[in-house]
Amino acid sequence: MAEGGKHWAGIGEAGTLLGMKSLLLAYRLFGRTGFRILLLPVMTYFYLRRRQARQASRAYLRRVARQLPPEQRAGLTPFRHFWGFGEILLDKLLVWMGHIRPRDVIFETPAAFDEVDQGRSGGIIIVSHLGNTEVCSALAHQLPDIAVTMLVHTRHAEKFNRLMKQAHGHASISLMQVTEMSPATAMVLAERVEAGEYIVIAGDRTPVQGGGRTSTATFLGEEAEFPQGAFILASLLRCPLYLMFCLKQSGRYHLYLERFSRRLVLPRGQREAGLQRAVQAYADRLAAYCRKAPLQWFNFFPFWLADQHAAGPDKQDKP
């Protein structure tokens, strides 16, 4: 990333635990209508305060709009993007509180879910910041014999995770904090996959420590960096690799599971080329689902290389 631009993990948490508690209390007392009434000033405040996030939103919406027919471009505004993020935050909490149940989720690819259910070993599932990744916990309920662990950078959303734990005592049971993919971490994950567990990793955030392994891919028409970690891990563990996307459409969540590779092979001497192909294939699928729900990709950081080079210090983004 260009000097002066900020890595996503270095941006402070927005908001306070008290603010999020107030939103949750509004929902408990008055339902979603009360939540939305209180959400309006909250999101307006952050929309006005977070210049870098506004710029990142505009940059994304501009690129995705180019790939949509004219009739689908109306309403693609940064504030609606922010508003959708606020709504998703509530849904994330509701998932962990048990208020969004498996019957509220439409499993769009039953054959892929059956394949996971009938598999003898575990595997890796790549998710993204498109839609609501927490709904993938519905997978654990749909397939009770399948154990799922989500790798997260909880320090970046420490307040939100604290609130989830308060909302549901064992909410973090399937969360594993990972700031870097060390050999020790890889060994732990290998043991879990060997035991039949599925590891869930976000594929659209570069490594937390910075300077990690990434590949450049074309995403929505322009170059951006994507992490190689999930693909390297799948190759080392010789396990199945899946992509999962969860979109909110017509008030319900639609869960899509695709098998990316039964076994990802990175030939000796052509490893980087193989990783490049895998990362580009993932970027293409992510772009396809972004076109399905253009206001639901919540990555409010300079993502494309051109934006990173243009980014400068943003005093307004300090918590």
What residues does each domain of the chain span? 8-317
- pLDDT tens for 99-138 read 777 778 898 988 887 888 777 779 999 999 999 877 766 5
Nearest to 197, CA basis, from 125, 146, 143: 146
Give the residue with greater pLDDT, 30 vs 149. 30
Nearest to 130, CA basis, from 297, 247, 256: 297
Handedness of CA 67, 69, 72, 73 (dihedral sign): positive
Per-residue pLDDT at 312 exceeds 60: no
CA atoms within 13 A on the CB side of 152: 18
- pLDDT tens for 38-61 read 889 989 998 999 999 999 999 999
pLDDT at 243: 96
Q: 274: pLDDT confidence band, cut at 50, 70 and 90? A: very high
Q: 212: pLDDT confidence band, cut at 50, 70 and 90? A: low
**Cβ atoms within 10 Å, residue 161:** 18
For residues 152 and 175, is the Cβ–Cβ distance under 8 A?
yes
For residues 262 and 240, is the Cβ–Cβ distance under 8 A?
yes
Percent over 70 (pLDDT), the chain: 77
- Structure letter (DSSP) for residue 7: P
- Structure letter (DSSP) for residue 39: H
Instruction: Tell me the average pLDDT across 135-156.
Output: 67
Mean pLDDT rounded to a whole number for the chain? 81
d(CA 177, CA 155): 8
Instruction: Tell me the average pLDDT across 272-300.
Output: 96
Instruction: Tell me the average pLDDT across 71-79.
Output: 93
d(CA 196, CA 200): 13
Q: 69: pLDDT confidence band, cut at 50, 70 and 90? A: very high
Per-residue pLDDT at 319 exceeds 50: no
> Which residues sit opposite 56 in a β-bridge?
none
For residue 39, how far is the Cα from the chain centroid? 22
Segment (H or E) for 234:
helix 229-237
pLDDT at 252: 87
For residues 7 and 302, is the Cβ–Cβ distance under 8 A?
no
Q: C-alpha distances in angstroms, 78 versus 8, 47, 173, 259?
A: 19, 8, 34, 33
pLDDT at 10: 42
Instruction: Tell me the average pLDDT across 146-150.
Output: 78
Ramachandran class of 176: left when φ > 0, alpha when ψ lies in -120 to 50, beta otherwise:
beta
d(CA 179, CA 183): 13
pTM metric for this prediction: 0.84
Percent over 90 (pLDDT), the chain: 39
pLDDT at 187: 86
pLDDT at 64: 98
For residues 199 and 189, is the Cβ–Cβ distance under 8 A?
yes
Give the residue with greater pLDDT, 9 vs 202. 202
Handedness of CA 234, 237, 241, 243 (dihedral sign): negative
Per-residue pLDDT at 144 exceeds 90: no
d(CA 100, CA 86): 17
The single-letter code of the amino acid at 175 is L
d(CA 239, CA 237): 5
